[in-house]
Structure 1
Amino acid sequence: MFVACSTLCFAREPLERALRLIAELEFDKFELAIVEDGQHLRPTLVGDDFEAALQQVRRGPSLTPSSIHLDFGPVNWNDQAVRRRFDAHCRFAKALGVAVLTMPSAPLGTPLEQEIKRLSSLVDTAMRDGLVPTLVTDSGTLAGDPQIAVELCMAVPGLGLTLDPSYGLQGSHKEVEFDLVYPHVQNVHLRDTGNKPGEFQVRVGQGLIEYARIVTQLQRYGYNRALTVAIIDRPDNPFEREVEIRKLRLLLETLI
C-alpha cells in the first residue's frame, strides 16, 4: 500500500499549481481528477485534444499518477460521441501509465440490468487498455449500497470498487455494512467525517473514520494499491487545507 493525494484537494487551483502543492506536501503519487465541472482537466478537453491534456499533466513536477477519477457528469452513454470520448480517456490513462480508473455508478433508482449493460461495455473497453475500472461507493449512486455494489462487481467481470468510507457515516447504510465490499476494493478515498449533517469533511481526528480498521480489512484481502487523500477543496471548509492534508498523509503512513 502507498499514500497518494487527489488533485481535488486543490480543486480551486490551476492544475500545474495543484501538482506542485502536492509535491511540496511530500507526496510522490497523485490521483488525477478529470471532472466536467472542475477547474483542472475536463473530459471534453481530454476527449478533443489528447496530446494537449498529456502535456498539461507532464508540465508539473515529477509525480507518479496512481489513478484517474473520471466524472463525465450527466451524459447519454448511448451517444457514440460520448463512447469515443471514454475510449480516449482509456488511452490517455494508458499513456500516463495509470492502472486504476475510478468512476461514478448510475444514480439511485436506475434499473440494475440497465447499469450492468452499460458497465459491461465500459469495462471491456477499459480492460483492453490494461486498466482496472472501479465505481465509487457514493451514497447518491447504485454503488453506495454495498449489496448492490458487490452485485455489480459479480455481474461485470473485471469491475472493482473505490471505497469511500465517508458515505458509510453520512449515507443510509451503516459503516459495518461496507465490510462486504473489501474483496472488490481497488482504490480508496479518505478524509475524516462525522455522522451529523454538515460533517462530511472535518478536521483529521475530529471525525469517526477508523483508518486502522480500514487498513487492516484491506490487508486481509491483499490490497496493495493507494490510500488516496481526498479532502475536497471547498471555500467553506472549516480548516486549513494544507494542514489537514499533511496530517492525514502522516497518519496513513504510520499504518502501512
Structure 2
Amino acid sequence: MFVACCTLCFAREPLERALRLIAELEFDKFELAIVEDGQHLRPTLVGDDFEAALQQVRRGPSLTPSSIHLDFGPVNWNDQAVRRRFDAHCRFAKALGVAVLTMPSAPLGTPLEQEIKRLSSLVDTAMRDGLVPTLVTDSGTLAGDPQIAVELCMAVPGLGLTLDPSYGLQGSHKEVEFDLVYPHVQNVHLRDTGNKPGEFQVRVGQGLIEYARIVTQLQRYGYNRALTVAIIDRPDNPFEREVEIRKLRLLLETLI
C-alpha cells in the first residue's frame, strides 16, 4: 500500500499549482480528478484535445499518477459522442501509466439491469487499455448500497470499487455493512468524518473514521494500491487545508 493525494484537495487552484502543492506536502503519487464542473482538467477538454491535456499534467512536478477520478456529470451514455469521449479517457489514462479508473455509478433509483448493461460496455473498453475500472461507494448512487455494489461487481467481471468510508457514516447504511465490499476494493478515498449533519469533512482526529481498521481489512484481502487523501477543497471548510492534508498523510503512513 502507499499514500496518494487527490487533486480535489486543491480543487480551487490551477492544476499546475495543485500538483506543486501536493509535491510540497511530500506526496510522490497523486490521483488526477477529471470532473466536468471542476477547475482542473474537464472531460470535454480531454476528449477534444488529448495531447494538450497530457502536456498540462506533465508540466507539473515529477509525481506519479496512481489513479484517475473521472466524472462526466449527467450525460446520455447511449450517445456515441459520449462513448468516444470515454474511449479517449481510457487512452489518456494508459498514456499516463495509470492503472485505476474511478467513476460514479448511476443515481439511486436506476434499474439494476440498466446499470449492469452500461457498466459492461464501459468496463470492456477500460480493460482493453489495461485499466482497473471502479465505482465510488457514494451514498447518492447505486454503489452507495454495499449489497448492490457487490452485486454490480459480480455481474460485471473486472469491475472494482473505490471505497469512501465517509459515506458509511453519513449515508443510510451503517459503516460495518461496508465490510462486504472489501474483496472488491481497488482504490480508497479518505478524510475524517463525523456522523452528524455537516460533518462530512472535519479535522483529522475529530471524526469517527477508523483508519487502522480500514487498513487491516484491506490487508486481509491483499490490497496493495493507494490510500488516497481526498479532503475536498471547499471555501467553507472549518480547517486549514494544507495542515489537515499533511496530518492525514502522516497518520496513514504509520499504518502501512
TM-score by length of 1: 1.00
User: Percent identity over the alignment?
Assistant: 100
Q: Distance in 1 between matches of 2:238 and 2:150?
A: 35
Q: Distance in 2 between matches of 1:133 and 1:123?
A: 6
How much does 1:76 deviate? 0.0
- In structure 2, the gaps of 5 or more residues are none
How much does 1:181 deviate? 0.0
Q: Deviations over 1:158-215 (max 9, x none)?
A: 0000000000000000000000000000000000000000000000000000000000
Q: Distance in 1 between matches of 2:103 and 2:241?
A: 24
Q: Distance in 2 between matches of 1:45 and 1:115?
A: 26
- In structure 1, the gaps of 5 or more residues are none
Q: What's the counterpart of residue 15 of structure 1?
A: 15
1:106 aligned counterpart, secondary structure: coil
Q: Distance in 2 between matches of 1:182 and 1:32?
A: 23
Q: Distance in 1 between matches of 2:8 and 2:123?
A: 24
Q: Distance in 1 between matches of 2:161 and 2:67?
A: 13
Q: Deviations over 1:60-103 (max 9, x none)?
A: 00000000000000000000000000000000000000000000
**Structure 1 residue runs of 4+, over 2 Å off?**
none
How much does 1:49 deviate? 0.1
Q: Distance in 1 between matches of 2:238 and 2:253?
A: 24
How much does 1:8 deviate? 0.1
Q: Deviations over 1:102-123 (max 9, x none)?
A: 0000000000000000000000
1:247 aligned counterpart, secondary structure: helix
Q: Distance in 2 between matches of 1:237 and 1:129?
A: 38
TM-score by length of 2: 1.00
Q: Distance in 1 between matches of 2:9 and 2:72?
A: 19
How much does 1:55 deviate? 0.1
How much does 1:232 deviate? 0.1
Q: Distance in 2 between matches of 1:41 and 1:69?
A: 11
RMSD between aligned residues: 0.0
Q: Distance in 2 between matches of 1:78 and 1:225?
A: 32
Q: Distance in 2 between matches of 1:231 and 1:172?
A: 21
2:254 aligned counterpart, secondary structure: helix
Aligned residues: 256
Q: Distance in 1 between matches of 2:62 and 2:10?
A: 17
How much does 1:145 deviate? 0.0
Q: Distance in 2 between matches of 1:87 and 1:187?
A: 21
Q: What's the counterpart of residue 243 of structure 1?
A: 243
How much does 1:245 deviate? 0.1
How much does 1:136 deviate? 0.0
